[in-house]
Structure 1
Amino acid sequence: MEIRSFAQLLIFATFIGLFGWTITNQIGGTQLKLKSTEDWLLDGTGLTIQGILIPLLQATLVYSLYQHILPVHQGSLKLSLIPTFIISFVVVDYLYYWNHRLLHTKLLWKVHQVHHTVTQMDVLGTSRNTLWTSLLIIYLWIHTLFIYLLADPTGYLLGVSLTSGLDLWRHSRLIIPANTRLYQLLSTWLILPQDHAWHHCREIHNYNYGANLKIWDKLHRTYYESEKLPSIIGISSSLNLFQKLLFPFS
């Protein structure tokens, strides 16, 4: 229970830090002032769903589901901290890569399109989605499954919190300059904000599906590389607020 509280605190602290940076940053602060009421509603609702409702669903309904269908397997996986962290940060990351690509197929794109209506990279838009989109994202189901199966989920939860923190950062404008050693260290393997910005680019959003690691996009030839940010972010949409929140079909 303590590690869960620590993981949630880490994610919350990351969000507060990035939001604080956005407010104090000249460009970020200007973007916030220009956000429409509809954008604030979409982003605020998405963050509430992801930050409160989804954790509650994982801790209650989904966890109870596994207790019902896998009653004798609770705590049956006895793995140490490092392997469980690798499962969370690497293996589940690969599963998410394909989950994300599936959301970009003709079958599910209409559901996922709302996330791509953000017109500026902004930590508040990290969880902008149709309200029930989370039911189609593997994290809801796979994280709860491993927490249920693992005798000690400490390493796994650390991977979850790191992934969530990186997700917030990836959607922000806190860019590491390309001429720094830190950029050289991270850019070869980690999805950076400028990488994910190109995923949100209006023209080429069918690239850079990965969450944590670039290897999956490079392996499957869906990686687009540029040290710069795209000039136009976000797709145009004729959906009204009700459609974006509940029924994204026109």
Structure 2
Amino acid sequence: MSWQFSDLIDLKALLVIALIFIPLEALIPHRHEQKTLRSHWLNDAFYMFFNGILIKAGLLVVVGGALILIGYLIPDSVGQLVQSQPVWLQAIEVIVVADIGFYLAHRAFHAFPFLWRFHAVHHSIEEMDWLAAHRVHPIDQVLTKSASYLPIFALGFSPAAIGIYVLIYQWQALLIHSNVRINFGPLRWIVASPQFHHWHHANERQAYDKNFSGQLSFLDAIGGTLYMPDRMPSKYGTNDAVPTVYHEQLAYPFVANRPRPKGLASAVGDNKQ
């Protein structure tokens, strides 16, 4: 199944990614003062190497189990109809359907305090770069990816179309977290860009609970959650007491309740600054 490869990063792929993004961030950085080996880079390297196994195992259970149930509800004719379309059209549809699922799941992780504690690990990033994209709690990643994968597998899209989506998603996820000064121009209102996603990570009150889409920024325009001023953020991160070490971050959501400074698009968020 195609989704089994979505988090697979072998040494060769890692070398290619590093050879692209490290020079790119050095040549056209958003933050010139940020070093390549910035704070907590080793912690995020642990995520890159070890999270994949946990996430794939979780997806096998969640997505695999759900698909067994869905198989009884959706007739095979639906998949046959979907796969009768050209692959390029299927790929576009997969991106849209998957990102709607991502948007809804991502918004839920900001709306519900217990879910936020998993997602706060990702928002603890204070220096954005391609490596920081990997700092995601496995449970956060499993549930969010399940929301993306379930509808596209249930509808029976072809492996080729899903493969195109996975490839585009992986590279776009690295790009939108990276420390690069790339302007998408008018396309930024349609496609998620570094500017778009950096504002999602901004530690500025106006940007809280904004820009939830992973690939298609226009979904936030439709959902009323788009925030993309002309400038870039000056500060990232969250004031939540998230530890800085990998194994402590994995345990963080399960420890005693803490007040949630960021989120819910309410007065609760005012405590963050």
Aligned to 2:36: 32
Look up the match of 2:263: none
Tell me by how many angstroms 1:49 deviates.
4.8
Give 1:147 deviation, angstroms: 4.3
Partner of 1:236: 239
Amino acid at match of 1:176: I
In the alignment, the residues of structure 2 paired with residue 222 and residue 151 of structure 1 have an alpha-carbon distance, to the nearest angstrom, of 29
Q: For residue 88 of structure 1, what is the aligned residue in structure 2? A: 94
> Using a 3 Å threshold, how does the CA distance of structure 1 residues 115 and 7 change in structure 2: closer, same or farther?
closer
Q: Which residue, out of 102, 115, 121, partners 1:114?
A: 121
Alignment pair present for 1:105 and 2:111: yes
Per-residue Cα deviation, 1:31-65 (whole angstroms, up to 9, x for no partner): 333313xx522x1233235545434654x545653
**SS of match in other structure, 1:104:** helix
Deviations 1:168-192 (A, max 9, x none): 1000022224xxxxx3252231111
Give the equivalent residue in structure 2 for 1:180: none
CA RMSD, Structure 1 to Structure 2 (Å): 3.6
Counterpart residue identity of residue 228, structure 1:
R
Q: Report % sequence identity.
A: 21
Answer whether contact 1:75 1:150 (CA < 8 A) is retained.
no
How far did residue 151 of structure 1 move? 6.7
Residues 170 and 191, structure 1, Cα contact 8 Å, conserved in 2:
yes
1:40 is matched by which residue type in structure 2?
L
Aligned residue identity for 2:251: L
- In 2 relative to 1, CA 104–45 (structure 1 residues): closer, same or farther, beyond 3 Å? same
State the shift of 1:154 in Å. 0.6
| Partners of 2:77 and 2:49 in 1: CA distance | 30
1:59-82 alpha-carbon deviations (Å, 9 max, x no partner): x54565367443796896121313
Q: What number of residue pairs does the alignment pair up? A: 240
Cα 1:225–1:5, aligned 2, differ >3 Å: closer, same or farther? closer
Matched residues in 2 for 1:64 and 1:207: separation? 31
Secondary structure of the equivalent of 2:189? Answer: coil
For 2:250, the aligned partner's letter is L
For residues 239 and 2 of structure 1, the distance between their equivalents in structure 2, rounded to whole angstroms, comes to 33
- 8 Å CA contact 1:7, 1:161 repeated in 2: no
Q: Corresponding residue for 1:206? A: 209
Q: How far did residue 145 of structure 1 move?
A: 6.2
Whether the 8 Å CA contact 2:88–2:161 is kept in 1: the answer is yes
Q: Structure 1 stretches of 5 or more lacking a match?
A: 178-182
> Where does residue 178 of structure 2 map in the other structure?
172
Please tell me whether the aligned partners of residues 147 and 153 of structure 1 are also in contact (alpha carbons under 8 angstroms): no
Shift in Å, 1:246: 2.0
- Which consecutive unaligned segments of at least 5 residues does structure 2 have? 259-273
1:65 corresponds to: 65
TM-score by length of 1: 0.77
**Distance change >3 Å, CA 29–CA 157, structure 1 → 2:** farther
Change (3 A) 1:61 1:4: closer
- Gap change, CA 1:235 and 1:20, over 3 Å in 2: same
Q: Distance in 2 between matches of 1:193 and 1:220?
A: 20
2:159 maps to 1:153: yes
Shift in alpha-carbon separation, 1:52–1:32, aligned structure 2, 3 A:
farther
Q: Which amino acid aligns with 2:38?
A: L
